[in-house]
Amino acid sequence: MRDIDIRLALREIMTRRHGNEPDTLIVEELGLCQGIARVDMAVVNGSLHGYEIKSESDTLVRLPGQTDVYNRALDFVTIIAAQTHAHKISTMVPTWWGIWVAVPEVDGLKFQKKREAQQNPDVSAFALAQLLWREEALQALADRHLATGMRGKTREKLWRRLAELEVDVLGKIVRQQLKQRGADWRPAPRPS
């Protein structure tokens, strides 16, 4: 079972589940923390839920680094793994991560839920702010009357200023901005 097989099945499920929701955006290969890691798929609506795929041909070498980044930026995380990785993954990821196992069937794949994703207890405001482009960060500050002296500052300084907001407030700002961009702001995903 290849990455593309799992990805297509996941895309179909997410499209069926969220495709008619006007306030939901499905993004593939969403870069987090300035591209340190990319989550395979993200669903952006009232939360930011990342889905990571580990196929049979994947190793788990990058998973600890990905875990660190996803823990900073995502409200919920679900990892979808081939059966060969399922047990080991359960010992490698936080208990609040969801775990689905991809099981081949005659007519495709099915996902068995081993563990339901729970809310991330420790989202980083700075990691959230990094999802905003410079102009978006500046506008978010201006909308809250926090842009005085910030117009000539770097993205990082703008993000640091935004990170002073409550995480829940900043999360709403970031999710709304991502949804306003729409699906066309990301290049088409590369074939796996």
Render pLDDT for 77-97 as a digit per residue (tens, 0 to 9): 999 999 999 889 999 999 999
177 residue type, one letter: Q
Same structural domain, 94 and 148: no
Render pLDDT for 42-74 as a digit per residue (tens, 0 to 9): 999 999 999 999 998 899 999 999 999 999 999
Average pLDDT of every residue of the chain: 92
- 145 sits in the region (left: phi over 0; alpha: psi -120 to 50; else beta) called left
pTM: predicted TM-score of the whole model, two decimal places = 0.91
Same structural domain, 109 and 139: no
Domain boundary among 121, 145, 168: 121
Same structural domain, 40 and 130: no
Specify the number of domains making up the chain: 2
DSSP string of 96-120? TSEEEEEEEETTEEEEEEEE-----
Same structural domain, 77 and 54: yes
Same structural domain, 116 and 30: yes
Same structural domain, 115 and 130: no
Same structural domain, 96 and 130: no
CATH number of the structural domain spanning residue 103: 3.40.1350
CB atoms near residue 49 (< 10 Å) = 21
Domain boundary among 80, 97, 121: 121
Q: Does residue 112 lie within any of the structural domains? A: yes
Q: Where are the alpha helices (DSSP H) in the chain?
A: 3-18, 63-73, 83-92, 125-129, 134-143, 155-162, 167-181
Name the residue range of residue 12's domain: 3-121
Q: In angstroms, how far is the first alpha carbon of the chain from the final one?
A: 12
Q: Does residue 192 lie within any of the structural domains? A: no
Half-sphere exposure of residue 107: CA atoms within 13 angstroms, side-chain side: 0
